[in-house]
């Protein structure tokens, strides 16, 4: 009986922390603090009760823009995948918007909506909707024509085709779209908060840099990476496992 190969994924984060600690010995703590100093800074923010409002603000902004982008991307991506005419119309617009860095929209959204929730959610939406639309469109286009023709021969109408043919076959592309969209949205959120917010993780990083508090800057960076890693591990991988089980039945 062959034993399963051990996974070394558990060692990557401790290795990163060890490397960080070794590099930090070359610098004074006000430039590059040790991991334990950043942990102490995090504990101080928790003890003061200041950390949760920043985390809550960032997560609410991320979820608002991300879920709005999901709805728009599903409608646009499925329609573009099914309709060549709409796909031809949408392609130049997608190329145009994807060429513009999402953060470039932040000054305009702040002029329109002012500082705060709506302006940052708008930037997140713009960052996520185009790559998600393309991923879903590609997934729908990859569906074999024979499956569609067979369903039509059996009498399936347009709604039944969407539910029983297009939706199951495009699930892998949808999961990819969620991953890509979340990462793009999360990056845009942090960047937008750094230039136009009074609260949030991006604000923590920006303010820490302005006052020369490297521990606060690194605390924000660690939180950014940790939340992205938790989203990947606890959300997207579970979604992928569920659709694999669902498709096998």
CB atoms within 10 A of CB 215: 21
Q: What is the dihedral of CA 127, 135, 153, 149, to 10 degrees?
A: 130
Residue 1: band (very low, low, confident or very high) from pLDDT cuts 50, 70, 90: very low
Q: Examine the pLDDT at 241 and tell me if it is beyond 80.
A: no
For residue 197, the enclosing domain spans: 44-248
Phi, psi of 200 (to 5 degrees): 120, 170
Q: Examine the pLDDT at 168 and tell me if it is beyond 50.
A: yes
Q: Is residue 143 part of a domain?
A: yes
Q: Is residue 11 part of a domain?
A: no
Q: What is the CATH number of the domain that holds 175?
A: 1.10.3720.10
**Which of 68-77, 124-133, 165-174 bottoms out in mean pLDDT, i.e. has the lowest?**
165-174
Q: Is residue 85 part of a domain?
A: yes
Q: Is residue 54 part of a domain?
A: yes
Structural domains counted in the chain: 1
């Amino acid at each position: 009986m062959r034993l399963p190969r051990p996974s070394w994924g558990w060692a990557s984060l401790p290795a990163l922390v060890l490397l960080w600690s070794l590099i930090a010995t070359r610098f004074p703590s006000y430039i590059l603090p040790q991991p334990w100093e950043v942990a102490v800074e995090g504990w101080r923010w928790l003890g003061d009760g200041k950390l949760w409002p920043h985390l809550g603000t960032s997560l609410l902004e991320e979820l608002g823009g991300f879920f709005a982008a999901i709805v728009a991307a599903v409608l646009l991506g499925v329609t573009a995948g099914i309709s060549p005419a709409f796909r031809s119309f949408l392609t130049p617009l997608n190329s145009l918007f994807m060429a513009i860095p999402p953060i470039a929209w932040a000054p305009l959204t702040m002029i329109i909506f002012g500082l705060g929730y709506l302006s940052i959610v708008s930037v997140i939406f713009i960052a996520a909707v185009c790559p998600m639309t393309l991923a879903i469109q590609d997934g729908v286009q990859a569906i074999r024509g024979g499956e569609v023709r067979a369903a039509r021969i059996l009498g399936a109408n347009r709604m039944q085709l969407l539910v029983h043919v297009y939706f199951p076959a495009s699930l892998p592309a949808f999961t990819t779209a969620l991953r890509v969209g979340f990462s793009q949205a999360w990056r845009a959120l942090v960047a937008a908060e750094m230039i136009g917010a009074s609260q949030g993780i991006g604000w923590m990083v920006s303010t820490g840099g302005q006052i020369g508090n490297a521990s606060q800057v690194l605390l924000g960076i660690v939180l950014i990476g940790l939340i992205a890693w938790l989203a990947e591990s606890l959300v997207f991988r579970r979604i992928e496992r569920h659709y694999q089980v669902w498709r096998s039945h």
